[in-house]
Amino acid sequence: MPTIKIDQDKCKGCVLCVDVCPHELIRQGREINDQGYQYAVLDDPDGKCTGCTVCAVVCPDMCIEVYK
């Protein structure tokens, strides 16, 4: 099953991945990482991620790994 992993320690909360996810599965979390940013989180309880890699490509800090 395709999924992504977001490195919460590296994420700066730019939300570019939130904007480009075609299935709207990524959102900005409420918790704050050690750098003081609200990091992105995958909200995919039904397993709808297709592993399209758009989020990983747009991430300027390379925080997202895609698993197919």
DSSP-based three-state secondary structure for 52 = coil
pLDDT in tens, 20-65: 999 999 999 999 999 999 999 999 999 999 999 999 999 999 999 9
pLDDT tens digits for 1-27?
A: 999 999 999 999 999 999 999 999 999
Q: How far apart are CA 53 and CA 22, in angstroms?
A: 10
Question: Cα 16 to chain center, whole Å?
Answer: 9
HSE, CB side, 13 Å, CA atoms: give it for residue 53.
3
Q: How many CB atoms lie within 10 A of CB 40?
A: 27
Q: How far is CA 32 from the centre of its chain?
A: 15
| Structural domains of the chain, ranges and CATH numbers in brackets | 3-67 (3.30.70.20)
pTM value is 0.92
CA atoms of 18 and 14, how far apart (whole Å): 9
